[in-house]
Amino acid sequence: MDAFSPELTEVFAHIDTHRQSYLDRLVAYVRQPSVSAQGVGMAEAATLLLTEMERLGMHPRIIETGGWPMLLGSRCEVPGAPTVLLYGHYDVQPPEPLDAWLTPPFEPSIRGNRLYARGVADNKGQHFAQLLAIEALLATQAALPCNVLMLIEGEEELGSPHILDIVHRHRDDLQADLVVIADGPVHASERSWIVFGARGIVSFELHARGASTDLHSGAWGNIAPNPLWTLVHLLNTMKSPGGEITIDGIYDAVRPLSAAERATLSDLPVDPAAIKARVGLTRFDAPADRPLGERVVAWPSLTINGMTGGYSGPGAKTVLPSTARVKCDMRLVPDQTVAGVRELIAAHVQQHAPEVELVWLGGMEPSRTPLDSPFTPPLQQAFIDAEGQAPLLMPTLGGSLPNYVFTRDLGIPTFIVPYANADQNNHAPNENLLIDRFFLGIKTGAALLTRLGALPRSART
Ligand SMILES: [Zn+2]
């Protein structure tokens, strides 16, 4: 199939003539609250989605997780064609603060060319676009061009606490050649992009203790050890002013970027001056000569999130604190692991400040699908079909997503193909989806199933 596909012309025309009814159904879906953190509307939203999947002959099942249920549907009737697993989530972030919304979060409102509602971009509008893509294909063709599994969970906004367990328990039901996740925003330049992975994370706290009570700094300074100084000295051994993390062995598992990954990074339209201006920076962190894209994609980062102890209110208080705490996170890159990094941090603290208590918070593994995956060209072509322009390629997001359950635990290459505008305000008041982006998402979704179906078997290994 070349760039001019008669099937796609017909599907795209069908999508164009059904704009109003597709939009009305998205409005109905986002009108239904589904706030996992507050337990609001979850069963109703799952039922609504179940009905939509049933209409498409996907025979959806409800998978109990111990928390909010997941939905798993499938339509696999093209022997020999690839199987794609489409992943999304029907839960949404809490809508608060309510008074910052121009219109109520669960009363969808169209202003200009945007639809405003909680969850419209993150993630309901995006997996709903995938569903409508399937609907449009079925309306215009005898069968889907490839096999489709659809897994929609209800706990993504809680950090997906059960997905690893479910993926293991349903390993046989989730056999696929690739995973496609339509979530997140397009690139900041508003160009579409395909994202090949996400950094992992290890979060932790360091607790230091001194005397059993706060002390007078004049009477006890130079006599009682100060837990805040203890933490400052320890932190000073963990990262250099030159920007290198100085925990022994921390870079040993870091996989160097491939030449292709380096090249795609330098293709990204990045304007350092605009980035600094946007957040009020006068300089970037050390090391000064490291390209911006590589900082996010190729290197782990160690961040002090906050530090507490003693007194930091108005005026002077000559106190020598009895306790101090610092909260940190490290973002991980392939092939670092949560367990390996925790071991290195623990050994470092043990060596430099054995009296400091190390408390582990959350952890998530990194993931990265190779750029030269056989599925990259059909996904790129799908964006060209829908938008007339090739997408940017991003080897790894700076943030953390549970893609590793697919790449590591199922061994399936995983691609993030965002359909939402960069200024979607997800997790914030006035979340919105550009209506044209919604329809581009439906078209891209239809094109990617079509292009995957046309991929010769010999090209898939
Ligand atoms: Zn979210």
- Residue 327 Cα to ligand 1 midpoint, Å, equals 23
- Residue 122 Cα to ligand 1 midpoint, Å, equals 5
Residue 233 scores a pLDDT above 60:
yes
- Residue 419 Cα to ligand 1 midpoint, Å, equals 14
- Residue 37 Cα to ligand 1 midpoint, Å, equals 12
- Residue 158 Cα to ligand 1 midpoint, Å, equals 9
Residue 317 scores a pLDDT above 90:
yes
Q: What is the DSSP string of 89-132?
A: E--B-----GGG-SS-TTS-EEETTEEE-TTIIIIIHHHHHHHH
- Residue 313 Cα to ligand 1 midpoint, Å, equals 34
Coil/strand/helix, residue 214: coil
- Residue 58 Cα to ligand 1 midpoint, Å, equals 25
Tell me, yes or no, if the pTM score tops 0.85: yes
Angle at 14 between CA 147 and CA 194, to 5 degrees: 50
Q: Using CB atoms within 10 A of its CB, is residue 447 exposed (0-12), middle (13-18) or buried (19+)? A: buried
- Residue 156 Cα to ligand 1 midpoint, Å, equals 7
- Residue 115 Cα to ligand 1 midpoint, Å, equals 17
Q: What is the 3-state secondary structure (H, E, C) of 371-437?
A: CCCCCHHHHHHHHHHHHCCCCEEECCECCCCCCHHHHCCCCCCEEECCCECCCCCCCCCCCEEEHHH
Coil/strand/helix, residue 356: coil
Residue 197's beta-bridge partner residues?
368
* pLDDT score, position 459: 83
3-state helix, strand, coil in the chain (%, to 5): 35, 20, 40
pLDDT in tens, 259-275: 999 999 999 998 999 99
| Two structure tokens written together for 46 | 């799952």
- Residue 210 Cα to ligand 1 midpoint, Å, equals 40
| Two structure tokens written together for 110 | 């169209």
- Residue 376 Cα to ligand 1 midpoint, Å, equals 25
- Residue 399 Cα to ligand 1 midpoint, Å, equals 12
Contact 165, 64 (CB under 8 A): no
Residue 195's beta-bridge partner residues?
394, 416
- Residue 102 Cα to ligand 1 midpoint, Å, equals 20
* pLDDT score, position 4: 60
- Residue 25 Cα to ligand 1 midpoint, Å, equals 21
- Residue 77 Cα to ligand 1 midpoint, Å, equals 32
299 dihedral zone (left: phi>0; alpha: psi -120 to 50; beta): beta
Average pLDDT rounded to a whole number, residues 289-293: 92
- Residue 118 Cα to ligand 1 midpoint, Å, equals 10
- Residue 347 Cα to ligand 1 midpoint, Å, equals 34
| Rounded Cα gap, residues 180 and 34, in angstroms | 23
pLDDT in tens, 81-112: 999 999 999 999 999 999 999 999 999 999 99
127 CB-near residues (< 8 Å, 6+ apart): 86, 88, 89, 90, 150, 152, 182
pLDDT band, very low/low/confident/very high, at 42 (cuts 50, 70, 90): very high
- Residue 188 Cα to ligand 1 midpoint, Å, equals 17
pLDDT in tens, 44-74: 999 999 999 999 999 999 999 999 999 999 9
| Rounded Cα gap, residues 379 and 451, in angstroms | 7
Residue 3 scores a pLDDT above 60:
no
- Residue 121 Cα to ligand 1 midpoint, Å, equals 9
Coil/strand/helix, residue 60: coil
Residue 2 scores a pLDDT above 70:
no
Contact 158, 402 (CB under 8 A): no
pLDDT band, very low/low/confident/very high, at 297 (cuts 50, 70, 90): very high
- Residue 286 Cα to ligand 1 midpoint, Å, equals 30
Residue 455 scores a pLDDT above 80:
yes
Per-residue b/e over 67-104, b at no fewer than 16 CB within 10 Å?
Answer: bbbbbbbbbeeeeebbbbbbbbbbbbbbbeeeeebeee
Q: What is the DSSP string of 127-167?
A: HHHHHHHHHHHHHHSSS-SSEEEEEEES-GGGT-TTHHHHH
* pLDDT score, position 7: 85
* pLDDT score, position 404: 95
Residue 371 scores a pLDDT above 90:
yes
pLDDT in tens, 159-216: 899 999 999 999 999 999 999 999 999 998 999 999 999 999 999 999 999 999 999 9
Average pLDDT rounded to a whole number, residues 134-139: 98
Q: To the nearest whole percent, how much of the chain has pLDDT over 90?
A: 94
- Residue 383 Cα to ligand 1 midpoint, Å, equals 23
| Rounded Cα gap, residues 375 and 377, in angstroms | 6
* pLDDT score, position 79: 93
- Residue 287 Cα to ligand 1 midpoint, Å, equals 31
- Residue 251 Cα to ligand 1 midpoint, Å, equals 30
- Residue 93 Cα to ligand 1 midpoint, Å, equals 6
Per the prediction, the chain carries an average pLDDT of 96
- Residue 123 Cα to ligand 1 midpoint, Å, equals 7
- Residue 311 Cα to ligand 1 midpoint, Å, equals 36
